[in-house]
Amino acid sequence: MTRLTTHRREPLADLLRAVPEFTPEEVTVALELADQALEASGKGDGDGDGDSDGYRFLLALEDERVTGYVCYGKTPMTAGTFDLYWLAVHPAHRRRGVAQRLVRAMEEELLREGALLVRVETSSAAAYDATRAFYDRVGFERAGLLRDFYKAGNDLVIFAHRLRPAKTGV
């Protein structure tokens, strides 16, 4: 698992364009987040994770090709919640545990920072059946459903993964 750097921006773009589930608009948005993260790390916030208050990236590499990546960031106005914004694995590298290793690496990092919760939003469309099954499998729970959110017949499914017990009464 490695960080996003300037010279990995194009390999990341290659991956995004190879993901059949993503629309062109989604590829554009995903790359905008990468460019924001690169711009922030170029300004040097000094903590080595790109931009601690913005978008963070973890990349899975094989022979300098990006086989998968996860993009996440701290949820504003929360004490310890993070949003997992994007998770993608190249079609030629699926069913090998890449997504699970990415999520585990992300969650280990977040636990070290004291995070409590990870939220994921995904689609009810058939193209995302395997995605939803993946989040069920790696410990996320379904926390919400918004009918026709993406478009008519395509709902929003919200998952949450509690990383550790909450300390209440503080």
Please give the residue ranges that form the binding site for its own copies (CB under 8 A): 23, 25-26, 29, 75-81, 116-117, 119, 143-153, 158, 160, 162, 166-170
Judged by beta carbon, residue 48 or residue 76, the one nearer its own copies is 76
Judged by beta carbon, residue 77 or residue 126, the one nearer its own copies is 77
- Residue 56 CA to residue 49 CA, distance in Å, equals 7
Q: How far is the CB of 64 from its own copies (least distance, A)?
A: 30
Q: How many CB atoms lie within 10 A of CB 113?
A: 11
Judged by beta carbon, residue 15 or residue 117, the one nearer its own copies is 117
Judged by beta carbon, residue 101 or residue 121, the one nearer its own copies is 121
Q: How far is the CB of 22 from its own copies (least distance, A)?
A: 10
Alpha helices in the chain (DSSP H): 9-18, 24-43, 98-112, 129-137
Q: How far is the CB of 58 from its own copies (least distance, A)?
A: 22
| Radius of gyration in angstroms for the set of CA atoms belonging to the chain, rounded to a whole number | 16
25 CB contacts (<8 Å, ≥6 apart)? none
- Residue 24 CA to residue 158 CA, distance in Å, equals 23
Q: How far is the CB of 145 from its own copies (least distance, A)?
A: 6
